Amino acid sequence: MEESWGSGYKEYVAGLIAGVATVIVGHPFDTVKVKLQKHNTEVHGIRYKNGLHCTARILRTEGVRGLYRGATPSFLGMAFESSLLFGIYSQTKQLLQGGVQSGGPQPNVIIPSAAFGGSIISFVLCPSELVKCRMQVQGTDSLVPKSVRYTSPLDCALRTVKQEGVMAIFRGGSTTFLREAIGNAVFFSVYEHVRYYMHLKLKAASSDHSNLIDMGIGIVSGGLGGVAFWSAVLPLDVAKTIIQTAPDKNASTNPFQILNSIYRRAGLKGCYTGLGPTIMRAFPANATAIVTWELAGKLLGIKHG
């Protein structure tokens, strides 16, 4: 039991380090994604041609700093969220396996472990993403008057609570819950299967199994897992952005109602607004998360299997 607690603690530390690395790599792509989702699904205001057009406008008006708008709550949220996700996933998986290491990936263990971890972290992610999204959409090309813009993430959180009530900070909570539960079940399923079969193939091809090969497997399995995650749940993310950045506190918080409205106006393409920068972010950000998690795990004496 004592050994299990020690290992469990290390999983959370490794996850925290992975979360920080993910934000450094992925936040600029996320800013572009959020701005596309906000502007290109609304009736009024500027519409971006694509992710590159949006990025160019941000760099021209705000510089690199504009791409990291809202990064503070993202750093805090992702560090804590990643720590919880990897820790809960690893420990739940061990519990469901009953301490017995299986030969290959077990979907009946992976899916519930990942969905459970995802559903728990949604309660942490929802407030931090609400602040992040509200900060991101008020920069370049924003329709929000400068006089009422937030001066910092803390100002955003405090004014949201003051003007809309304490529960407003959890606006979009059910959508975040669905996105994280479904998305992480997909992510870890792809990650575990790709990792397992790549290890099998490379072990058969060569007896010299180096850390460089492990890193390569981590990049591919983590990157493909990230692409699968966002391909599966991007429409829910589009709905979440609209819910969390709506100026009217009485606006709908039903993701399916919002997606139905977008579909009628812009078709399936509208429900996948921001797909380009999302996929461009998904591979490197999630590859970074997995490689950092596995590397930190090795340094801490954890064996991921």
Which tokens go with 77? Answer: 């949220």
Q: How confident is the model at residue 206 (pLDDT cuts 50, 70, 90)?
A: low
Cα separation, 164 vs 157, in Å, equals 10
Domain membership of residue 230 (yes or no) is: yes
At 50-92, the pLDDT tens digits run: 888 888 888 888 888 888 877 777 777 778 889 999 999 999 9
Percent of the chain that is helix, strand, coil (3-state, to 5): 80, 0, 20
The predicted-structure confidence for 17-37, as pLDDT tens digits, reads as follows: 898 888 888 888 888 887 887
pLDDT at 243: 94
- 213 vs 195, which has greater pLDDT? 195
Which range (35-44, 232-241, 251-260) has the least confidence?
35-44
Predicted local distance difference test score (pLDDT) of residue 144 = 67
> Is residue 43 included in any domain, yes or no?
yes
CATH code for position 103: 1.50.40.10
Asked if residue 221 is part of any domain, the answer here is: yes
* Domain contains 170: yes
Name the 3-class secondary structure at 251.
coil
246: confidence class by pLDDT, cuts 50, 70, 90: confident
Alpha carbon distance 82, 291 (integer Å): 13
Judge whether 55 lies within some domain: yes
Distance from C-alpha of 144 to C-alpha of 46, rounded to nearest angstrom: 13
Domain residues for 127?
A: 2-300
305 in a domain, yes or no? Answer: no
Token pair in block for residue 286:
């999630």
In a domain, 88, yes or no: yes
CA 189 to CA 206: how far, in whole Å?
Answer: 26
Instruction: Report the candidate in 220, 178, 172 with the shortest Cα–Cα distance to residue 195.
Output: 220
Position 3 pLDDT exceeds 50: no
- Distance CA(289)–CA(294), nearest Å, equals 9
DSSP secondary-structure letter at 151? S
The total number of structural domains in the chain stands at 1
**For position 248, what pLDDT does the model report?**
82
Mean pLDDT of 198-213: 75
> Is residue 119 a part of any domain in this protein?
yes
